Chain A
Amino acid sequence: MDAVTKVQRQQLVETVMGWGQALAERAYGPQGPGLDVDLAAMEDVAVEMQRALLKGFCEKATRQQAARLPAHQPCPTCSAECHPAPPARIEASGPPGEAGRPIQTRGGPFQLQEPQYYCPACRRAFFPSALGAARGQSRLHSGRVGQDCD
């Protein structure tokens, strides 16, 4: 699946809504919350679950996306074919060829496990998952600002 269509998105929303109802029952029992529970307290619990949902969703999706990367990647600097970084090259703990770092999203942080490659010529590791631009393009946006504006 490359992108989530509008229909699929609507179906997913309905599924999650069902989970929400199930979770409410699980949190407060089949009788529901007591009369001393106010809306703010319910919201706090729901937001916490929303954050957990987002964390799980992003971690899974990014990990699966990373698994689709080819075994060899061109170095962003010298364009030489590079292999995943050996474990010794990775300072953070994690599976071989992967490094984790926290990413802040609208719904809280999640741990991004991204594949790390190493260029022996440049003696530098890089993360192909961040490469939105063509090789050699600076990290600055080179397109025109404000297009499609009116």
Chain B
Amino acid sequence: MLRVDSHGYTAAVLDKIVTSGGNSKSFQSAHHMVEKQAEVSVSAMQIARLTHEIGRELVQCRDQQAELHRFRQLPVDANQPPVQIACIEADGARTMTRASHQGRGVHDKSWKEPKVGVLWRMTGQTFESDPHPELPGCFQDQQYVEQLVRELKSGGGSASPAEVPTAADARAAVPAEMRAAEPAVETAVNDTRGGEIAAAASLGTAAEAAVAAPEAGAAAARSADSAALKPPVQWPPRRVFRTCVATLRDVHGFGPLLAAEAQRRGFYQASQKVFLGDGQTANWTVHRLYFPDFVPVTDFPHVVPYVYEPARAVTADRPSAWRRCQEWLTLCWQGRVVEVMAALQAWQAAHPVPPGVRLTSLPENHPQRVVAGAVTYLEHNQSRMDYPRYRCLGLPVTSALVESLIKQFNWRMKGTEKYWNRSEEPAISPRTGRPIRGRVVVDPPEMSVESMLQVRAALLSDDDRLSKHIRARPGCPFVRRSTQRRRAA
């Protein structure tokens, strides 16, 4: 049968419209794109309506899948190939929202953090010994490290909300050297030379770092020399296939969605399983509840500020501080976090907080407060910082892939004067009057953030799920009366 709905577009045209709505910076620009590329005249508002309609359907499908998984009724998709390395990374994006059903204009605006998870099927090899014990060249580049620290720390700083960069923004600032440890984001999925390119990038950056940063020059040159003598080891796993999940719900709503997607793709049956995140507690809550048998790994670049800042705080001059930072970063890279913590704790013992003074009352950049913060972070994460073991297992050690994915989400979702309707509010318990964890009241307005996130997630997944969904829609046997009246007129 024809499977046409009340809108009067074929599935292929609808696919073009929604793809354009999800991939353009605005619906207005999507309107121009559709008119130019597809030669279909459709208004910006109509593109918005159609995009959100499809988004709402995708939300419904996603929730059905999660519900099936909740009752252990979701089978592994029979068409899924066996997974060698199942890599799940989770992080948060940023988007500006407003209250829905409030009429025109912006009401009750607030920043929200959609949770984004990416599921990568990877391939790789294991090693008997650490394939890359040296600190990567980028972390030997003082300029790079300082910029990384500045950007990661400014994420929670005092910048105005519109200027607050996410960790993703920070990560993308200088990603070149990250490719030494991670497959290049820009590398084609099937590019078998990913490892070689990564290794070449590593050598190139190390040599450039020697020129750019005189302090790190000797170390970088040594690293480049030693790497030039040995054939490059392709230890980072190679990315094969990705799908992603995004929601504005809290971790208790996000976890089941991620778990259902992992189940469908057969990630729980993978030979090796890894879950990466930054130090945020929410990520590890998802890991603990839904992926307990996945190897948890703390993203290495997020550790850098917690080493760099205390090194600066406890050392008098800058060159010595940089040398100490290098020493501690190397220890962390080599999995000897305990030694860094011991050094920091020894400093704390030698410089106790004066009696009667509370740590929190000290300025944020006070050495004792900086060191205490670093010790706490390292204590919480040390069990997830055994990087040599992860490299031996052929697992990734950074969450760069989800960070770059978040940039792709933010590109569409975030912008000047761009607000999305909050589609779901936490369900309030009638007994306690408090929000119920993981439960939401679905309120499907137009332009909702949840539906837009689904369209974006579908477009950023490798499985072409948006087109498949649109082509599988059953159609609508009824035509709106307004359409009939307009046609008759």
Contacts and interface: CB of A to CB of B under 8 A. Distances in A.
A106 interface: yes
A145 interface: yes
B475 A139 contact: yes
A91 interface: yes
Interface residues of B, number: 52
Contact of A130 (B38, B62, B475, B487): B475
A102 interface: yes
B60 A129 contact: no
Interface in B472-489: 472-479, 483-485, 487-488
A51 B136 CA distance: 58
A146 B468 contact: yes
B5 A145 contact: no
B472 A92 contact: no
B3 interface: yes
Interface in A101-150: 101-106, 108, 112, 114, 124-133, 137, 139-150
B173 interface: no
- B2, B463, B483: residue with the most chain A Cβ atoms closer than 10 Å: B2
Contacts of B488: 91-92
Contacts of A139: 5, 473-476
A131 B477 contact: yes
Contact of A124 (B4, B60, B77, B478): B478
A149 B244 CA distance: 12
B1 A143 contact: no
Contact of A101 (B62, B463, B487): B487
A144 B264 contact: yes
A150 B241 contact: yes
B2 A129 contact: yes
A139 B5 CA distance: 8
Q: Which 9 A-B pairs give the minimum distances between C-beta atoms? A: A149-B463, A133-B474, A132-B3, A130-B475, A132-B474, A145-B61, A126-B477, A146-B465, A139-B476
Interface of A: 62, 65, 76, 91-92, 99-106, 108, 112, 114, 124-133, 137, 139-150
Given A127-B478, A128-B477, A145-B58, 15 more contacts: A76-B478, A104-B10, A104-B42, A106-B10, A114-B2, A129-B4, A132-B475, A139-B473, A141-B473, A145-B458, A146-B461, A147-B77, A149-B243, A149-B462, A150-B81
8 contacts: A104-B40, A106-B38, A125-B478, A126-B477, A127-B477, A140-B61, A146-B461, A150-B121
